[in-house]
């Protein structure tokens, strides 16, 4: 028999919005894209702990510029959804590719940071000269 679990730590859509700084539209949009699947209590959405974990992963993915479609596929891996070997192998490969991309991006980013710092050195010197002249 299925117990309804009164201690259900579920959040309403509004509580989710406040907690994670997203709009209700965003949550429904993610659901439409099959990134989330909250339970429904008579036409209302209820977000479980798993839903919240998924949302956090989604938001983290977005911070790195991954598309929602990318994220949807990555979520499968994080969930070890790959119940069969072929599926698991595919998501594994996908993760490998992504990892390589991220490392490349990190390397480029380091270079860009160094270059920008150098630029700012020059700008800083120019500013100092200006201020000295304004004396």
Partner DNA sequence: CGTTACATTTACGTTAACGTCAAGCACTCT
Partner DNA sequence: AGAGTGCTTGACGTTAACGTAAATGTAACG
CA distance 43 to 112: 50
For residue 19, state whether it binds DNA (rule: CB under 7 A).
no
Secondary structure class of 126 (helix, strand, coil): helix
How many Cβ atoms sit within 10 Å of the Cβ of residue 75? 19
Q: Residue 119 binds which entry of DNA, its own copies, none, with Cβ cut-offs from 5 to 8 Å by kind?
A: its own copies
Residues that bind its own copies (CB under 8 A): 60, 63-65, 77-78, 80, 82, 85, 88-89, 91-92, 95-96, 98-99, 102-103, 105-106, 108-110, 112-113, 116-117, 119-120, 122-124, 126-127, 130-131, 134
CB of 71 to DNA, least distance (A): 8
User: By rule CB under 7 A, what count of residues binds DNA?
Assistant: 18
Task: Kindly state the smallest distance separating residue 115's Cβ from its own copies, in Å.
Answer: 9
Please state, in angstroms and as integers, the Cα–Cα distance from residue 1 to each residue in 51, 110, 132, following that order. 24, 56, 81
Q: How far apart are CA 29 and CA 36, in angstroms?
A: 9
């Amino acid at each position: 028999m299925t117990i309804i679990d009164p201690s259900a730590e579920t959040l309403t859509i509004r509580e989710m919005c406040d907690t994670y700084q997203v709009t209700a539209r965003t949550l429904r949009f993610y659901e439409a894209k099959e990134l989330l699947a909250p339970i429904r209590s008579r036409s209302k959405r209820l977000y479980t702990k798993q839903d919240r974990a998924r949302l956090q992963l989604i938001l983290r993915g977005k911070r790195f510029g991954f598309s929602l479609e990318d994220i949807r596929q990555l979520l499968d891996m994080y969930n070890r959804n790959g119940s069969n070997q072929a599926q698991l192998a595919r998501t594994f490969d996908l993760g490998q590719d992504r990892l390589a991309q991220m490392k490349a991006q990190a390397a480029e980013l380091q270079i860009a940071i160094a270059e920008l710092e150098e630029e700012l050195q020059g700008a800083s010197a120019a500013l100092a000269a200006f201020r000295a002249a304004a004396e």
